[in-house]
Structure 1
């Protein structure tokens, strides 16, 4: 299809060029979007301009130019800053524009945010993501979304450019975040269990490479074991998803269950493991570094390290 024959695309901007956001911005560029970006690290935004994007000095300046603004920041506090902080986006988005929130947050807070933006005439999609940095870069994320038909009508092509699967879970915000909370319960528990199993095997004298090979071809394997224990084998704890992300996310899991008086014994234990890792100074390392809380385990070292 020639450029002149291609349907007009909504103007899109993205705030937050971390491990996930950068890949998502690149996926949008691959899908022929002219992508505006903002990141509080000006050097990250400037680097993306060399790939063909346009950098803006504030979320508000970016918001004034787009139909769809995608927020890929860590938590609710950062979403607040993007929307309602100094030079924030909420007052600059045009009526009828859509804010797509990809952060993992309290579902109740997400539902309240939808109402706050509606008061300004802005549409909202609750759209947490899963898949990791590599899938983000390839436009292969899973998106767990909920929101109004009007929000989907405008944002759908943007969602499709960033993901392989978009789940529509309901017509109001909060449902997407509820499903992401359940996903993070499983992800956090699986990483913690994988680390515990790997540490036990190494402590028992099994070569780490052999243990990994056997488990990844056996019934005890999980996606998290296969993915995160590869980081352990490489001795590389460069954060793709940090320990402190699961301190936050498993905390949200526990918070969401508390009003229901719903017991979460495995999530509670995993949360304590990540808290211990963070308290030991590992909060900024890859979440696979939770394996370092186990004493007396001779972990592989990074090649050349």
Structure 2
């Protein structure tokens, strides 16, 4: 904990997404601490094959997690989740739980973070070969934390056969909107997709006023296998959903306050190309490729002032 000189890296990411310069004031006069984190997990797992997945299984987890970091925090959180498992190197999980936290020191930032990570929370997480990802959303504090990372795998090299689940991470231009898409294979060339796009826009430095804009769509994805080029395959997709406009600010106690929230109807139509969709690039049972997409989005924002 403390200032380890990573501000330049964080501000590089902020510049990439047009989030503005972040200048953190560290508690403790620049003091640096290295504190171990210990944990214990108990898990009940039920796994069942599903007829509409050719290479995957569904599973149900009931978990009890206990974590402890000396002089910082102790946490206890039971949770339940539902997920999909393919081989030993690929899975995706969604769930919810309740977090109990106790702060062990007097640092104001520790208390602010600890209080924001209490109560009911929702989460998703997963790993696909090299890539790991996850996100936790704490409902009471309206704060979320997540990340994208990489892992190295050892042992037997598992072959890739096909993908029941396709996950895409991207950036929509010209507004640098981060986008995540999950596509489940349903029947032959048809799939069901779930898409989220998100961007945070700073509005004022005073009280850290900002707008969190997101879109959520679900619909049908059709890969046109008759036009497969061998190295690329075209696809069409259409979906319905909503836009969410959320304006927040922080008070003097670093509590998040909601200034404005509105949902509006949205629909979109997309088309694009998926490159290397036959497993040309694979690692430990997972295949990787590139996707280029363009489209149109309709939004009914007539209720917004």
TM-score, length of structure 2 as denominator length: 0.22
More helix by share: 1
TM-score, length of structure 1 as denominator length: 0.22
More strand by share: 2
Relative CO higher for 1 or 2, CA cutoff 8 Å, sep ≥ 6?
A: 1
Work out which of the two has the higher radius of gyration on C-alpha atoms and give 1 or 2: 2
